[in-house]
Structure 1
Amino acid sequence: MTKEKIIHTMKEFETIIIHRHVRPDPDAIGSQAGLREMIKHSFPEKNVFIVGDEEPSLLFLAQMDEVEDEVYKNALVIVCDTANAARISDARYKLGKKVIKIDHHPNVDLYGDLIWVDTESSSTSEMIYELVLLAKYEGFTLNNEGAKLIYGGIVGDTGRFLFPSTTKKTFQYAADLVTYDFDRSNLYDGIYNTKDNIARLRGFILQHFKLSSSGMSTIKLTTSILDEYKISPNETSQLVNVLGDIEGIKAWAFFIEEEDLIRVRLRSKGPVINDIAAKYDGGGHPMAAGASVRTWDETDKVTHDLDQVCMAFE
């Protein structure tokens, strides 16, 4: 019933503003902008906007709109791919008349008037396509641009369909989406082409990661290292899975130094890690999560906790 309510609510409002999380990835942009394309293509008279901080590496997917505060007054706000209200990019989402949450992360923060959370979905983009299939009976249609964005979001969050979150339904939806007219090769190039400085940092990571006897691995990327390779903290998201193919690694942590905190990116091939993330002001999926700490001493605590879950995992 929740999906039907979301569809009917989208039909009711003339102005819809779509948000997503800070430091967006392809799924955040794909679900956000893909939903915008579906609504706008179906009902051209509606005012549909996407907002949030720009991520330079993803501008090829979509660019955000400039929206004045007063536009929110009678608007429907939809927040995609964001588990915690604190991570919503642009806090003005609260100004909307009604808020809908659509997400595939564990539902730890019950914000919104309507909440659709499906942790079995590979991505929020997969959920948006599920909405497309249901909404067609209410007059919604999907254009080629929307299909490209949704497909890109699914590809990004499944690691090109390699991650365990990929299901039969994921492949079925992907098969549907590739029947639309868009350039898949160009899309893959946009998501996965690597700049030379990022490739060089990948080499540094492979030379300097630490691996414990438990199967736990860590890498510290300090400000000086990032400056040396001329890479921003956000760009390190392209490298977080580089340790995933190394034999013997069960779970790993990237510690990325930013201006006022240390970003923690956690990944796993078995041990549950989102409980660790929650302990350090974060969250996420059992196998992919993130957190934040203030000092390098705190990263030692995260390392200890990660080592413990790896030792306990058989």
Structure 2
Amino acid sequence: MCKQEIGKEIKQFDTIIIHRHVRPDPDAFGSQAGLAEIIKASFPEKTVKVTGEEDPELLFLTEMDTVEDQDYENALVIVCDTANQARVDDQRFKNGKKLIKIDHHPVVDEYGDIQWVNTNASSTCEMIYSLYLEVCQEGFKMNNKAARLLYAGIVGDTGRFLFPSTTKQTLQYAAELVTYSFDRPLLYNQLYKTSIKVAKLKGYILQHFTVHEEGYSTIRLSKETLEKFELTASETSQLVGLLGDIEGILSWVFFVEEEDIIRVRLRSKGPVINEIAAAHNGGGHPMAAGATAYSWEETEEIAEELKKVCKDFQQDL
């Protein structure tokens, strides 16, 4: 029913502004811009804009539009891939006439006039494609641009279809999306290319990680370390899965120091870690979550909490 309601609202509004979360990943950009391209292809007379901070690493996917304050008057606002309001990029999302939330993360905030949350979906891009399938008989059209964006988001959030969130439906949707015309090898190269600086940091991490007997690992990347490798905190995000193939590691965390906070990136192969993130100004999926720490002492608390969930997980096996 939600998908039909969303389709109906999209058809009723002349102006639609689409948001996503801060520090975007391919699923955030893909769902935001992919939905925008579907609406543009379906209803050329509508004004459709995407907003948020640009990410230089993801400009190959899409660029953001300029959105003025007055654009929100009588506009439909859709927020993609964002569990809580504090993480919505561009906080003007509340200024429209109607608000829709589309997300696949566990609910943190209940917001929006219509909330469509499906935690069984591999990605919000998968949800956007299922929305299209639901309403394609009502004038909605898919095109090559939208297919490329949605495929990129699915690939990104499933780890190239390796994560447990990948389902038969995920693979079916991906198979349908690749029938559209876009350069898939080029897209993969753009998604997974590694700069020389990031490659050197990768070597540093592999030389310095340790595995505790409980099955957890912590990586600390200070501002001094990032300066040494001439990298920003955001550029380290592509390395967060690096320890996933290492024997003996059940769960791991990257602590990445920024100007006034420490970015916390948690990953797991079994122990549930999103509750740890929720306790430290964050959230996410059971096996992939993010948080914010405000001191190195707080990161030590997070490490202890990670130790406990790994120990409990081993005891329950």
Task: Supply the AA of the counterpart residue of 2:218.
Answer: T
Quote the Cα distance in structure 2 between the aligned partners of 1:311 and 1:202: 27
Quote the Cα distance in structure 2 between the aligned partners of 1:92 and 1:237: 26
Superposed CA deviations along residues 235-277 of structure 1, whole A, max 9, x for unmatched, are: 1110000000000000000000011100100000000000100
Quote the Cα distance in structure 2 between the aligned partners of 1:286 and 1:26: 19
- Aligned residues between the structures: 314
Deviation at 1:137, TM superposition (A): 1.4
Q: How does 1:9-48 map to 2 (within 5 A)?
A: 9-48=9-48
Quote the Cα distance in structure 2 between the aligned partners of 1:89 and 1:248: 37
Q: How does 1:52-71 map to 2 (within 5 A)?
A: 52-71=52-71
In structure 2, the partner of 1:309 is 309
Quote the Cα distance in structure 2 between the aligned partners of 1:183 and 1:154: 16
In structure 2, the partner of 1:170 is 170
Aligned with 2:245: secondary structure?
Answer: coil
Matched, 1:215 2:218: no
Deviation at 1:108, TM superposition (A): 1.5
Matched, 1:3 2:7: no
Percent of aligned pairs sharing the same letter: 63
Quote the Cα distance in structure 1 between the aligned partners of 2:15 and 2:38: 14
Quote the Cα distance in structure 2 between the aligned partners of 1:177 and 1:124: 15
Task: Supply the AA of the counterpart residue of 2:197.
Answer: N
In structure 1, the partner of 2:106 is 106
Quote the Cα distance in structure 1 between the aligned partners of 2:95 and 2:265: 31
Following superposition, which runs of at least 4 residues in structure 1 exceed 6 angstroms of deviation?
Answer: none
Quote the Cα distance in structure 1 between the aligned partners of 2:195 and 2:240: 15
Deviation at 1:35, TM superposition (A): 0.2
In structure 2, the partner of 1:151 is 151
Task: Supply the AA of the counterpart residue of 1:230.
Answer: E
In structure 2, the partner of 1:182 is 182
Deviation at 1:210, TM superposition (A): 2.2
Matched, 1:277 2:277: yes
Quote the Cα distance in structure 2 between the aligned partners of 1:305 and 1:210: 17
Superposed CA deviations along residues 109-157 of structure 1, whole A, max 9, x for unmatched, are: 0011100000000000000000010110111010001000000000000
Matched, 1:199 2:195: no
Quote the Cα distance in structure 2 between the aligned partners of 1:112 and 1:281: 21
Aligned with 1:244: secondary structure?
Answer: helix
In structure 2, the partner of 1:49 is 49
Matched, 1:224 2:219: no
Which range is displaced more, 207-216 or 31-40?
Answer: 207-216
Deviation at 1:301, TM superposition (A): 0.3
In structure 2, the partner of 1:289 is 289
Gaps of 5+ in 2: none
